[in-house]
Every structure is written in structure tokens, then in C-alpha cells.
């Protein structure tokens, strides 16, 4: 039989083992509590600790670099350079109006526009070679190459009302023209409203339309001499 000392030793040894196991369990419990708190904090902060422990790591995939896009450099299209065409100044086909300037003379105007001097005087009804012009006055300048018109020869036996074209001569008046062609001033003006602007100043060289033999010519009597008895 065991004595008291042996029993007390056996009981003391069992109690020591129990205390050691309890201590270990307590430490493990504390560790688990701490780990739990840490996991909760990480979870609430978005760290995803619990999921990351068991989450399957993604399999890395190789990313191919993007295929470079070849940009086409636009080629320069040659543009045609247009050469401006020379401006042609039209040559007057008939007399044109000119305003006399300071120090102008009929001779200098004729030289400036390369026209015939006598024709310039004639179309402005300047008689006897005179040139009575003043600055600001408007005169007619003949076209280059224009010369004095020649008299129009009209047959005397034309039918009544025949229309002809007549070129105004130096010294012409409507009265002289009407008498020459057996017509009237009124009929000449009616046929030439777009040509004759001033019936008292008709420029030399313009053409007018005339109806001939509208009136009976007035006979001209030759003067007779009285013989002394």
C-alpha cells in the first residue's frame, strides 16, 4: 500500500500537468482571439485578409504589345500655278468723250491718243483750224485710225421713203441735210433718237438714218439780169 507521502506526490504531479495544459490552452485562446480581431479589422478596412488567404491566385497571362498602326504620310499633290492672263485694253471703235485738263491743247490731245489732228478738229466742229478748248470742257476724241469721212453719193432717183445711212460731215446741220435729201428735220430726229442728242451740235463722223425724197424739192431759180433800155 502507498503511504501518504507517495499519494501526495502522485496527486501533486497530476495537478501540475493540469495547470500546464490549462496555461497552453489559455495562450492558444488568446492568440486565436487576437487573430480574429486582426482579421475583422482587415475585413472592415477592405484589406480582404480572410479572402486573400484562400483566394486562388490568378494565372498570369502574357499581354501582347499592341500592333503598331502604320500611319500613311500624305503625299503632296502638286498644284498648278495659274498664270494671270494679260489684260487687254479694248481700242475704242468710235469717238469717245474726253474732259480737257490744264495745259491741254488739241495737238497734245491728238498726240496722246494717237489720232489724226484734223479729224479731232472736225468731229468737234472746230473751224478754220482753231481749237477753242478750256479746262473742264468735254470734247470728242476720234478712234485711232479714224479719218475724215468722205461725202456720201446718193442717187437722185431713189424711190420715195428709201432709207439710207449718212455720215455727218464738217459743217452739216439738220436743215442742210434735210434740204439735200428732200426730207424733213422732224423725220430725221424721229429715226435717230438714240444717236442725235443735241440737234444743234451733231458730232462729225456719226452715222444717221435718213428717208429720202419725202418732200418735193423746191426749185431754185437762176438770177436774171435786167437789160437797160
pTM (2 d.p.): 0.39
Q: Is residue 122 part of a domain?
A: yes
> What local confidence, expressed as pLDDT, does residue 186 receive?
94
Give me the pLDDT at residue 116, please: 86
Give yes or no for residue 111 having a pLDDT over 70.
Answer: yes
Domain total for the chain?
Answer: 2
In a domain, 186, yes or no: yes
**DSSP H or E stretch at residue 132:** none
pLDDT tens, position by position, 34-86: 988 888 888 887 655 444 444 555 566 666 666 666 665 656 666 666 665 65
11 located within any domain? no
| 201, 167: one domain | yes
- Is 3 within the bounds of a domain? no
Domain-embedded: residue 9: no
Q: In this predicted structure, what is the pLDDT of residue 158? A: 79
Q: Domain of 193: which CATH number? A: 3.10.350.10
Answer yes or no: is pLDDT of 213 > 80: yes
Identify the domain containing residue 172 by its residue range: 163-211
CA 92 → CA 108, 128, 143, distances in Å? Answer: 19, 27, 6
**Confidence band, pLDDT 50/70/90 cuts, at residue 92:** low
E strand residue ranges, 128-213: 138-141, 163-167, 207-211
Amino acid at each position: 500500500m502507498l503511504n501518504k507521502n507517495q499519494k501526495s506526490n502522485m496527486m501533486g504531479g497530476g495537478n501540475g500537468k493540469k495547470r500546464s495544459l490549462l496555461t497552453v490552452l489559455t495562450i492558444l485562446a488568446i492568440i486565436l482571439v487576437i487573430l480574429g480581431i486582426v482579421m475583422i479589422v482587415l475585413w472592415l478596412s477592405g484589406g480582404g485578409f480572410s479572402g486573400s488567404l484562400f483566394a486562388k491566385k490568378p494565372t498570369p497571362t502574357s499581354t501582347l504589345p499592341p500592333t503598331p498602326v502604320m500611319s500613311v504620310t500624305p503625299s503632296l499633290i502638286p498644284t498648278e500655278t495659274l498664270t494671270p492672263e494679260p489684260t487687254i485694253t479694248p481700242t475704242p471703235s468710235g469717238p469717245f468723250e474726253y474732259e480737257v485738263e490744264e495745259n491741254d491743247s488739241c495737238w497734245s490731245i491728238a498726240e496722246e491718243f494717237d489720232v489724226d489732228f484734223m479729224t479731232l478738229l472736225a468731229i468737234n466742229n472746230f473751224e478754220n483750224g482753231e481749237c477753242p478748248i478750256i479746262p473742264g470742257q468735254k470734247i470728242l476724241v476720234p478712234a485711232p485710225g479714224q479719218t475724215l469721212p468722205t461725202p456720201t453719193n446718193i442717187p437722185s432717183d431713189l424711190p420715195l421713203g428709201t432709207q439710207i445711212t449718212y455720215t455727218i460731215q464738217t459743217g452739216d446741220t439738220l436743215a442742210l441735210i434735210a434740204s439735200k435729201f428732200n426730207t424733213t428735220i422732224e423725220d430725221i430726229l424721229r429715226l435717230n433718237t438714240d444717236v442725235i442728242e443735241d440737234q444743234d451740235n451733231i458730232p462729225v463722223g456719226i452715222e444717221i438714218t435718213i428717208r429720202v425724197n419725202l418732200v418735193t424739192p423746191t426749185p431754185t431759180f437762176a438770177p436774171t439780169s435786167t437789160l437797160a433800155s
